[in-house]
Amino acid sequence: MQDGNQMNETTNTRPRSFKIIGTGSCVPEKVVTNEDLTVFLDTSDEWIRSRSGIEQRHICTTETTSDLAIGAARNALENAHTTPDEIDMILCATISGEYVCPSMAALVQRSLGAQCPCVDLSAACTGWIYLMDTASAFFARGGIRKMLLIGAESMSRILNWHDRSTAVLFGDGAGAVVLEPGDNYLASSFVTEGNDEVIAIPTKNGISPWYLNEQKLPLVHMDGQETYKFAVSNLPKRVDEVLQKAGLQEEDLDWVIPHQANKRIIDSASRRMKHVPADHFCVNLQKYGNTSAASIPLLLDEWNRAGRFKENDLLVMVAFGGGLSSAACLVRW
């Protein structure tokens, strides 16, 4: 990695951000259908499908979150024809890693045999957009040849499997991209409304003999209806903002890559964004459920490998979730 200041002195025509040159993904082997959940939860396939669009999810048995992250990273490197020694930084978004320390990114680095700085970001389902923006800032500073970004989650580790209102919605998986310098990251928009009543995932209880406060279970707590309202109103707003910042119109969009939480939320956004054909809203949540920070890179990999994105296509990635947070970014393929 070169020193950023050195780069500033040598060139003023260097790329301002990045271009995506490869994608990868990895999910655990075990598939759990809605029907499987009815064995121990008071729920039904019909309820889950009609309220969320989810039909099944992949759930870890022996795999760890870092196994998924490493699998996605390897696939992305292969897809980008990149070797680990070319990677100058690894960024990972996760809220469900097996360690608070070391970072997920550091575990990936060790497994790949890369030698570069590594850090994790935590912004729940919006984490992926923060990764993209952070990566863009590093590329703008200069001195980075290639960067590896990973969104990886094992939500099954932090779900309350006795709570039917949350357990049926999530799944495990990881997605990754490799970036090189380019001008393809066009704009971003971020909003946080600090709130731990609507969505909260407390950390593990400590064993301090002096601590007196009530300790909440270190599992997902979510008010579904409030989250739903937040998502439906924020998703189109963030898309409008990034289009405005880039001086573009809804008509210019080729693909909308929304966070995969609920098909009804995506359909509601689609109804509001009349200039984007409904089938250009990418959806795969029926297979994976909500994989939090992994959901957007999982979609990117699926659409990329299916050859659906064409060079120069305009993509908007948009997410919402814990924080409460919402964000969008605009990328040229």
List of residues contacting ligand ACO (CB under 6 A): 43, 47-48, 51-52, 124-125, 164-165, 168, 199, 222, 224-225, 227-228, 231, 261-262, 290, 292, 321-322
Least distance (Å) from ligand ACO to the CB of residue 168? 4
Closest distance of CB 42 from ligand ACO, Å: 7
The two beta strands, 17-26 and 172-182, are: antiparallel
Q: Which is nearer to ligand ACO, 188 or 227 (CB)?
A: 227
Contacts of 223 (CB under 8 A, 6+ apart): 197, 198, 199
290 counts as catalytic: yes
Q: Which is nearer to ligand ACO, 24 or 258 (CB)?
A: 258
CB of 311 to ligand ACO, least distance (A): 32
In the complex, the smallest distance separating the C-beta of residue 96 from ligand ACO, rounded to whole angstroms, is: 9
- Residues 6+ away with beta carbon under 8 Å from 246: 186, 187, 330
For residue 312, give both structure tokens. Answer: 């120069």
Of 26, 75, 259, 282, the catalytic one is 259
Nearer CB in complex with ligand ACO: 82/325: 325
Cβ 323 to ligand ACO, closest distance in Å?
8
* Least distance (Å) between residue 201 CB and ligand ACO: 7
Of 102 and 224, which CB lies nearer to ligand ACO in the complex structure? 224
Q: SS3 sequence, the chain?
A: CCCHHHHHHHCCCCCCEEEEEEEEEECCCCEEEHHHHCCCCCCCHHHHHHHHCCCEEECCCCCCHHHHHHHHHHHHHHHCCCCHHHEEEEEEECCCCCCCCCCHHHHHHHHHCCCCCEEEECCHHHHHHHHHHHHHHHHHHCCCCEEEEEEEEEHHHCCCCCCHHHHCCECEEEEEEEEEEECCEEEEEEEEEEECCCEECCCCCCCCCCCCCCCCCCCCEECHHHHHHHHHHHHHHHHHHHHHHHCCCHHHCCEEEECCCCHHHHHHHHHHCCCCCHHHECCCHHHHCECHHHHHHHHHHHHHHCCCCCCCCEEEEEEEECEEEEEEEEEEC
**Residue 259 annotated among the catalytic residues of the structure:** yes
Confirm if 26 and 65 have CB atoms less than 8 A apart: no
Q: Is 125 a catalytic residue?
A: yes
What CA–CA distance (Å, rounded) separates 69 from 99?
13
Q: Which of 125, 184, 304, 329 is catalytic?
A: 125
CB of 124 to ligand ACO, least distance (A): 4
**Identified catalytic residue from 116, 290, 304, 329:** 290
Active site residues: 125, 259, 290
